[in-house]
């Protein structure tokens, strides 16, 4: 069985995530976002070469596990039995 889990930016902010890339404007500087405030969509990071501000507005990571064990099914709740009145 193949299992696919998708994690969004909000969950990634709670982890020690680091993103490294070339400046999309000047392509001459290597930038790294590795602190939570740099990953905040309202803050971003400034390129030290061209002074552009780069803001991360979305991120998702998909994790694919193939051939893993199928998780055990959750037990169904037992029906409530009322004592018969008599």
The 10s digit of each residue's pLDDT in 30-67 is: 999 887 777 776 788 899 999 999 988 877 888 898 87
Distance CA 36, CA 43 (A): 10
Indicate the pTM of the whole model.
0.56
Return all residues near 18 (Cβ < 8 A) that are at least 6 apart: 32, 33, 34
- Report the percentage of the chain scoring pLDDT > 70: 78
């Amino acid at each position: 069985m193949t299992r696919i889990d998708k994690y969004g930016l909000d969950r990634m902010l709670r982890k020690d995530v680091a993103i490294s890339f070339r400046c999309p404007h000047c392509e001459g500087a290597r930038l790294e976002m590795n602190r939570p405030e740099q990953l905040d969509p309202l803050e971003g990071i400034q390129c030290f070469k061209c002074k552009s501000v780069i803001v991360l507005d979305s991120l998702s990571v998909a994790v694919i596990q193939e051939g893993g064990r199928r998780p055990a099914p959750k037990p169904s709740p037992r029906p409530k039995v009322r004592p018969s009145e008599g």
